[in-house]
Amino acid sequence: MTVPAVPVSWPGGRAAAAAFTFDVDAESAVLWGSPGNADRMSVMSHQAYGPLVGVPRLLGLLDRHRIRSTFFVPGYTAHRHPGVVKDIVAAGHEVAHHGYLHEQPTGVSAEEEAANLDRGLQALEEVAGVRPVGYRAPMWDLSWRSPALLAERGFLYDSSLMDADVPYELAVGPATGHSRQASLVEIPIQWALDDWEQFCFLPDISGSGLIETPRKARELWQDEFEALREVGGCWVLTNHPFLTGRPSRARQLDELMAHVTSCVDVWTASLVEIARHVRSLGLTPRSITRPDVEP
């Protein structure tokens, strides 16, 4: 049985926490889906909009609202668009790990998963001089072995699971080459707080086939914010620059940022700041076990 997460106290006696996060997938996600997509110039341009136009616009918004954010950057994005990754770091935001070519951990072997982690680390080091302490699994599809692989590499936190309203310490058992118990801070996310479902429309490749209005998306995200605020939770919004970087969507995000930062009872922070705070609380790690399945 899995034990529920316990409530978390927030800095300065605030009631809740909030984070604006961005996954800079660019071309990587659709190339992992099918390398042949590289032949499709229009599809590549749809994805390149993120680093070329979206990220600069979003950096401007974050600066105006004085928000420190977390950008999850696949290593492939760093190699293909090094300038924009350096700009993110120069603007004072956190750069965190998001695979190399956006590989889903459940879609590869243990050896491949470890190699992808190391390749992503190397790319971010080469391009931006960054050793990330945070990880988000591509497609939020963590494997049961991922936590141990992250702990072995010294990561502080993960942000890929969905079983709590608040961050917690995730117990990491001994694994290959990992001889002692450890833990990771887990900062939960949710599909309702992702822009992919609202805006992604890539015929034959991804998306619901429906493009929602920016107002509808903002309403959904703000409803989630108000309710998580009431229960002392941690609201983590995940946006992709190739989607929410478009002007009409960025305008709604601008208004949402203004609202969130106007709530003085909410701590708006980057994920590494949230993770360090949670680590300082000395919470007892939770063990989560894989369900047994009858043969």
Any contact of residue 25 with Zn ion (CB under 5 A)? Answer: yes
Q: Are 14 and 266 in contact (CB under 8 A)?
A: yes
d(CA 64, CA 58): 10
Q: Name the minimum Å distance from CB 263 to Zn ion.
A: 28
Give 25 or 195: the residue with its C-beta nearer to Zn ion.
Answer: 25
Q: Choose the binding region for Zn ion from 16-24, 47-55, 145-153, 173-181 (rule: CB under 5 A).
A: 16-24
Q: Name the minimum Å distance from CB 84 to Zn ion.
A: 16
Q: Choose the binding region for Zn ion from 21-29, 51-59, 199-207, 231-239 (rule: CB under 5 A).
A: 21-29
Radius of gyration for the alpha carbons in the chain, expressed in angstroms and rounded: 18
Give 25 or 165: the residue with its C-beta nearer to Zn ion.
Answer: 25
Q: Are 172 and 183 in contact (CB under 8 A)?
A: yes
Q: Give one DSSP letter per residue of 137-199, joined into a string.
A: -GGG---TTHHHHHHHTT--EE----S-SS-EEEEE--BTTB-S-EEEEE----GGGBSHHHH
Amino acid 226 reads E
Amino acid 116 reads N
Give 239 or 268: the residue with its C-beta nearer to Zn ion.
Answer: 239
Sole binder of Zn ion in the list 5, 8, 20, 23 (CB under 5 A): 23
Q: Choose the binding region for Zn ion from 18-26, 77-85, 118-126, 257-265 (rule: CB under 5 A).
A: 18-26
What phi and psi values does residue 217 have, to the nearest 5 degrees? -65, -45
Token output for 139: 């497609």
Q: Are 197 and 191 in contact (CB under 8 A)?
A: yes
Give 28 or 270: the residue with its C-beta nearer to Zn ion.
Answer: 28
Any contact of residue 195 with Zn ion (CB under 5 A)? Answer: no
Q: Name the minimum Å distance from CB 96 to Zn ion.
A: 11
Token output for 229: 């605020």
Any contact of residue 194 with Zn ion (CB under 5 A)? Answer: no
Q: Name the minimum Å distance from CB 142 to Zn ion.
A: 13
Q: Choose the binding region for Zn ion from 19-27, 31-39, 51-59, 223-231 (rule: CB under 5 A).
A: 19-27
Binding site for Zn ion (CB under 5 A): 23, 25
